[in-house]
Structure 1
Amino acid sequence: MIDTSIKTDNRIFGLDVMRAVSIAMVLFSHSTVIYPENDGILSKLKDLSGFFGIELFFILSGFLVGSSIYKLFIYNEYGFGEVKNFLFRRMFRIIPSYYLVLIINIIIYICFAFSLREVWKYFFLMQNVATPIPAFFPESWSLPVKELGYVIAVLLLYVFVTFFSNFSRKKIFFSVIFSMLILSFLAKVNYHFHSDNVDLSVWSQSVRGVMIYRMDSVLAGLLLGCLFFEHPHFFKRNKLLFAGFGLLFFLLFLASVMIFKLRLDNAAWFWNIFCLPLASVIVLMLFPMMLDWKKGPKRLVTPVKFACDISYSVYLIHYSIVLFLMMRLFDLKSYSQSELHIFTLSYLTVTLLLSVVFYHFFEKPINKYRLSNFKLRLINFGKK
């Protein structure tokens, strides 16, 4: 799910915790579909967990990859060879496992005689660039948001540094990233003025799940990675202040939805324009504190690292493969509450076991090959 290919001696425990929490929140959110729909606390926790779990996923990914892009662009030649190597390295982290699971999903859909309309888009990560994702492999919507955001940023930086080589690289870098952030924000504004939707589930598919409206979350993480690289002591000094603001904004978010009852039918501007950026800010505020958590308790380091290692495998197989097939095999409508709990435990166990197998026999060897053959050469750390 998140790029975990960080050398062991460079791992920051706080970021590992955020990775583990991210995949746990997504897994919890999706596993609640096992139970009958209701408006109780479980339903609200499910929505909140899925919402912020994905947000954490985006910003953490942006942070980790963003600092590499920044160092490569500012302190290296950033020629065609460097750009190609970076993109190949990134795609080799994501694409092989994704393609294998995509093919498995296609086979499953063929077996059940389901429609595979527009499935070709999935091979190019175009399934939700500007429109909602189809019913097929729905959890894959987050990959185009993250990966295409990187690709566009890296290519734009290459174009601008080629044609404006005499300009300050830092000015070029931040101009490109801020321009992309503004365009994503304006896209949400445009959607707001051209949509009369008042259904939150439609909003989730049409705004929250569409790349052009969501790439700002990844770019926000990318921007934080760059700023942290340049000013680490500032963030370390003010980590509690940032965390305090994060808590304040989170309470403001909850109050807006639960107390002031801002809904799509009475406050579409909040949901269409400001809700997602506010969620990004809330998550961003946690990073300085988590980045300063270098080492964790010995009893937690191993399980947290394990969760990080298999997180991408869990993300790929947990829903459209494991949960879909298990819910097809068993008629949950006749199950009692205790039987549903047993089913959920079985589902989580199967997901974890298959994820471990997938990681060790496919993802890990591919990642080892990637690290050996597509190395980032971050040299020449003089200021440009």
Structure 2
Amino acid sequence: MINSIVKDRVFGLDLMRTIAILMVLFGHCLWVFPESTRFLYQLFVLFGFFGVEIFFVLSGFLIGKILYQLYLKEDFSITSVFYFLKRRWFRTLPNYFLILIVNIGIALMIGYSTPSLWRYFFFLQNLKVTMLPFFPESWSLSVEEFAYIILPFFLLIIAALFKPKNKSLFFLFTIVLLILIFFCNKIYYQNTTTNTTIDQWNLSLKSVVLYRLDSIFIGVFCSWIYFNYNSFWQKSKNILFVLGILFFGFLFVGIGYLGLFIETHSALWNVFYLPFVSVAVACFLPFLSEWKQEKSIFLKPITFISIISYSIYLLHYSVVLQLMKNFIPLNSQNQPLVYGFVLVYIVITFLLSYLLYRFYEKPIMDLRDKN
């Protein structure tokens, strides 16, 4: 199965997706280790956050490429919008609703209170306020789903109002406008709240749809550059790659070294930090989107993890990890037991994710492609 898939994929983007899901996977299992101020522990604390941010920009880049070509190729109409959404929803919704129902069953089984569950069926759990602790990783899926809806409909409405002659520049104008709108939402947040703790920032800003959609649209903006300035895209890929490394070095080390914490620099965190992370991720896209690999010992494992990454994301935390936390007693001071727990967690997650992909996600995707 992997052999037939490999030839149609971009290795660099698969690597990007694989790194992202592994960062999320390992970042979420830190609770089994004693809390520490050591650098390695703090680095893993950040992994879950940065993994999702990579997904946002990469997702924006990929859907931007699809939508941009669709927008230019034909008379962009409501039919075009629904065609785009149908293909997206075949990709995302079946898995999401299945695992949502599984999570509801688990919550009922362990006696967990689940109020306002209807919000999760419409991706409203974190539209403008902090979401409930139930199925917490679904916050990022709400951001992506609203991006899928807002972008094509915004293009359609603005195009109907202004009748653009240069559709490529109009696409760019629309993306920049959307980025500015959701960037300004963060300015509004900064001016209307007194957020001075990282926990509040994490729940009330970082995980709320109305403040996060610009991360997806920065990826879409990159797709426009890819098509319209491909020579620049290719010539600058090494420079931008190095720049991305420097940006991440600043995010991992520089902010702490300079003492730029939210308690003293709330505007930096509330307004500029998240867009800067998205730009840092975007710097890797030119290099990785051009990285083709036909023969490598890493090719098949990277491709395998990439294609089951969505299933991993849905299953790893609220299903696998939460059930293990509830039914397996663990002493965090017993290191062999802790490492064994993590190994079992990873094996179970990969096994269930492969089964979900092989017998549910892939058949639905095949059905989509046939139609």
Interval of TM-score (by shorter of Structure 1 and Structure 2) = over 0.9
3-state DSSP of counterpart to 1:145: helix
Alpha carbons 1:160, 1:172 under 8 Å: kept: no
2:182 is aligned to: 184
Report the CA distance between 1:60 and its aligned residue: 0.7
Matches within 5 A, 1:81-120: 81-120=79-118
1:346 is aligned to: 344
Alpha carbons 2:164, 2:170 under 8 Å: kept: no
2:283 is aligned to: 285
**What percentage of aligned pairs have identical amino acids?**
37
Alpha carbons 2:12, 2:290 under 8 Å: kept: yes
Q: For the residues of structure 1 that align with 2:255 and 2:164, how far apart are their CA atoms?
A: 49
Report the CA distance between 1:195 and its aligned residue: 1.6
2:153 is aligned to: 155
Q: For the residues of structure 2 that align with 1:288 and 1:154, how far apart are their CA atoms?
A: 24
CA offset digits 1:305-349 (Å, max 9, x no partner): 110111111000100010000110112137611111001101111
Matches within 5 A, 1:301-312: 301-312=299-310
> Counterpart of 2:25 in structure 1: which amino acid?
L
Alpha carbons 2:30, 2:45 under 8 Å: kept: no
| Aligned pair partner of 2:198 in 197, 200, 211 | 200
2:142 is aligned to: 144
Matches within 5 A, 1:305-324: 305-324=303-322
Alpha carbons 2:33, 2:332 under 8 Å: kept: no
2:297 is aligned to: 299
RMSD value, Cα: 1.7
Q: For the residues of structure 2 that align with 1:341 and 1:166, how far apart are their CA atoms?
A: 59
CA offset digits 1:244-288 (Å, max 9, x no partner): 222232233345422111111111111111111111111111111
Q: For the residues of structure 1 that align with 2:43 and 2:228, how far apart are their CA atoms?
A: 37
1:379 is aligned to: none
Report the CA distance between 1:111 and its aligned residue: 1.6
CA offset digits 1:25-72 (Å, max 9, x no partner): 100100112222222234311222122211111111111111111111
Q: For the residues of structure 1 that align with 2:233 and 2:156, how far apart are their CA atoms?
A: 29
Matches within 5 A, 1:43-58: 43-58=41-56
Q: For the residues of structure 1 that align with 2:257 and 2:89, how far apart are their CA atoms?
A: 44
Report the CA distance between 1:82 and its aligned residue: 1.6
Q: For the residues of structure 2 that align with 1:41 and 1:342, how far apart are their CA atoms?
A: 23
Q: For the residues of structure 1 that align with 2:125 and 2:81, how far apart are their CA atoms?
A: 25
Q: For the residues of structure 2 that align with 1:7 and 1:160, how far apart are their CA atoms?
A: 38
1:63 is aligned to: 61
> Counterpart of 1:102 in structure 2: which amino acid?
L
Sort the Cα spacing of 1:166 and 1:261 in 2 relative to 1 into closer, same or farther, 3 A. closer
Q: For the residues of structure 2 that align with 1:356 and 1:139, how far apart are their CA atoms?
A: 19
1:250 is aligned to: 248
Alpha carbons 1:22, 1:56 under 8 Å: kept: yes
Alpha carbons 2:332, 2:338 under 8 Å: kept: no
Q: For the residues of structure 2 that align with 1:280 and 1:206, how far apart are their CA atoms?
A: 19
Q: For the residues of structure 1 that align with 2:101 and 2:261, how far apart are their CA atoms?
A: 39
Alignment of 1:356 onto 2:360: no
CA offset digits 1:211-266 (Å, max 9, x no partner): 11111111001110121022222111111111222223223334542211111111
Q: For the residues of structure 2 that align with 1:166 and 1:270, how far apart are their CA atoms?
A: 37
Report the CA distance between 1:167 and its aligned residue: 4.0
- Return 237-246 or 247-256, whichever deviates more: 247-256
> Counterpart of 2:160 in structure 1: which amino acid?
T
- Return 38-47 or 85-94, whichever deviates more: 38-47
> Counterpart of 1:192 in structure 2: which amino acid?
Q
> Counterpart of 1:57 in structure 2: which amino acid?
F
Alpha carbons 1:145, 1:215 under 8 Å: kept: yes
Structure 1: where are the runs of 5+ without partners? Answer: 374-384
Structure 2: where are the runs of 5+ without partners? Answer: none
Sort the Cα spacing of 1:296 and 1:266 in 2 relative to 1 into closer, same or farther, 3 A. farther
Number of aligned residues: 369
Sort the Cα spacing of 1:269 and 1:9 in 2 relative to 1 into closer, same or farther, 3 A. same
CA offset digits 1:115-174 (Å, max 9, x no partner): 211211111111111111211100011011112112101111111222333543223322
Question: When the two structures are superposed, what TM-score results if normalisation uses the length of structure 1?
Answer: 0.92
3-state DSSP of counterpart to 2:171: helix
3-state DSSP of counterpart to 1:101: helix
1:75 is aligned to: 73
Q: For the residues of structure 2 that align with 1:166 and 1:234, how far apart are their CA atoms?
A: 26
| Aligned pair partner of 1:229 in 227, 232, 250 | 227
- Return 302-311 or 330-339, whichever deviates more: 330-339
- Return 164-173 or 294-303, whichever deviates more: 164-173
Q: For the residues of structure 1 that align with 2:294 and 2:201, how far apart are their CA atoms?
A: 39
| Aligned pair partner of 1:164 in 157, 162, 176 | 162
Q: For the residues of structure 2 that align with 1:93 and 1:52, how far apart are their CA atoms?
A: 23
